[in-house]
């Protein structure tokens, strides 16, 4: 009995997946831009592949900006595998702490 129910559910799910229409959507236009500053190109080259300026701008205000951004950049490298050169880490942290 359980096998029959499982087979019927599997068939229904497969049939639904096979006949489902693709979902298309358009991302909203970006309204923020990276602020001018030292090492802006380093930040754009490393961060904008995954993050928009809008996303970076929405980070909450914090007391220890440099510590926050250091932790964020470290997380991007260690947890998410961001291919950021060691020589660029300090530049990115300094830029973000100074401008956001």
> What global pTM score does this model have?
0.70
Q: What's the confidence (pLDDT) of residue 96?
A: 95
pLDDT computed for residue 79 by the predictor: 98
Residue numbers of the chain with a pLDDT score lower than 50: none
Domain boundaries, the chain: 29-99
Structure confidence at residue 49 (pLDDT): 86
In this structure, whether the domain defined by 29-99 belongs to CATH 1.10.760.10 is answered with: yes
Q: Report pLDDT for 7.
A: 58
Look at residue 32 in the predicted model and tell me its pLDDT: 81
DSSP string, 25-92: --PPPP---PPP-TTHHHHHHHHTTT--HHHHHTSPP-S-HHHHHHHHHHHHHHTT-----HHHHHHH
Q: State residue 81's pLDDT score.
A: 96
């Amino acid at each position: 009995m359980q096998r029959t129910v499982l087979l019927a559910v599997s068939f229904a799910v497969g049939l639904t997946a096979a006949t489902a229409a693709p979902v298309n959507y358009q991302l909203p236009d970006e309204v923020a831009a990276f602020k001018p500053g030292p090492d802006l190109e380093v930040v754009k080259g490393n961060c904008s592949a995954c993050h928009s300026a809008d996303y970076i701008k929405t980070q909450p205000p914090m007391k220890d900006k440099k510590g926050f951004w250091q932790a964020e950049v470290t997380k991007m490298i260690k947890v998410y595998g961001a291919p950021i050169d060691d020589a660029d880490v300090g530049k990115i942290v300094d830029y973000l702490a100074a401008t956001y």
